[in-house]
Amino acid sequence: MENATLENPIISVRNLHKWYSGVHALKGVSLDFKPNEAVGLVGDNGAGKSTLINILSGLHTADEGEIQVEGKTVTIANPRDAMDLGIETIYQYNSMVPIMSIARNMFIGREPLKMSFGGIGILDEATMREQSVEAIANVDLHLRSPDALVGELSGGQRQGVAIARAMHFRSKVMILDEPTNHLSVKETTKVIGFVNSLKQQSVTGIFISHNMHHVFACCDRIIAMALGEVVLDKPVGETSIDEVHDLL
C-alpha cells in the first residue's frame, strides 16, 4: 500500500506537442515524474527541454496533449497556476530581480499582507524578513541580512535563495533549468548539494543541465531528449554517461 502511493506519479504528461511558428519543438512527449525522485533531463541544444518545462511552469501552453498533477487533469495557463499546483521553477537568470532585496524577492507575487483591499494591501515586512531568514537557513545558506540586494549575491547564492523560496512555499515539484550554467566549481557543488537535499524534504526535482557529471551526481533517473522526443528514460544505475552521450 505504502509502495503503491509512492509509485503514483505526481506529474504525468501525455502526448505533448508544441509548435513555434513552423518549428515542431515537442513531438508527442509522454512522461511520468514520481514523488520524491530527482530526475535529470538532458539533451542537445534545441532538444526541447526548456519548452517542456516552460509548459509545466506556465510560461507557455502546449498546443496538444494533457497534463495531470496527482492524478487530476489540469490546465496550466500562467505561472501562477503552476505555483498554486506546487510546481516551482528556477531559471539561470529569470528567477530574481537583482535590484530588490532578498526579503522582497522571496515573496514577489505572494506577499504576506497586514490588510488588503481588492487584492492590494500593506506588506507585512517583519514577517517577510523573518521568514526569509528562516527559509534561507533551512537550505544551509548563510547570508548576513535579508535586506541585501540580490544583485550583490554570487550566482550560486542566488540559486540558493531561489531554492529557499521554492521550499518555503512548499513546492511539490521543483524544476531547475540549467541552474549551474556559468557557475564556478565551488558554487556548482553547492547547487548540486541543494538538489540532493530536495529528496530529504520529499520534493520532486527536475534538473536540466548540459553537464552529464552534474546530472549523474544528483539524480535518480535520467531522461534524454533529442529533437523534441524522449530518446532515453532509465534509472541512473542502469545507464552511464557514455550511453547517454552516444545517444545524443
Ligand X SMILES: Nc1ncnc2c1ncn2[C@@H]1O[C@H](COP(=O)(O)OP(=O)(O)OP(=O)(O)O)[C@@H](O)[C@H]1O
Residues in touch with Mg ion (CB under 5 A): 50
Q: Any idea of the CA torsion for 73, 220, 139, 193, to the nearest 10 degrees?
A: -150
By beta-carbon proximity to other proteins, the closer residue of 15 and 154 is: 154
> Are 10 and 173 a contacting pair, CB within 8 Å?
yes
Least Å distance, CB 91 to other proteins, is: 7
Going from the C-alpha of 217 to that of each of 117, 120, 212, the distances in angstroms are 48, 44, 8
By beta-carbon proximity to Mg ion, the closer residue of 50 and 204 is: 50
Least Å distance, CB 152 to ligand X, is: 27
DSSP 134: H
Q: Cα–Cα distance between 41 and 11 in angstroms, integer?
A: 15
Tally of CB atoms within 10 A around 193: 15
Partner touching 126 among Mg ion, ligand X, other proteins, none, CB below 5 to 8 Å by kind: none
Least Å distance, CB 67 to ligand X, is: 17
- 23 forms part of the interface with ligand X (CB under 6 A): yes
By beta-carbon proximity to other proteins, the closer residue of 16 and 85 is: 85
Least Å distance, CB 191 to other proteins, is: 14
Partner touching 96 among ligand X, other proteins, Mg ion, none, CB below 5 to 8 Å by kind: other proteins
Site string for ligand X, 39-68 (x = CB under 6 A): ----x-xxxxxxx-----------------
- 8, 44, 64, 99: which one contacts other proteins (CB under 8 A)? 99
- 109, 200, 237, 238: which one contacts other proteins (CB under 8 A)? 109
- 93 forms part of the interface with other proteins (CB under 8 A): yes
Q: Cα–Cα distance between 167 and 173 in angstroms, integer?
A: 10
Partner touching 15 among other proteins, ligand X, Mg ion, none, CB below 5 to 8 Å by kind: none
Q: Cα–Cα distance between 190 and 185 in angstroms, integer?
A: 9
Q: Cα–Cα distance between 129 and 213 in angstroms, integer?
A: 36
Structural Rg of the chain based on CA atoms: 18
Residue 236 buriedness (CB in 10 A; 0-12 / 13-18 / 19+): middle
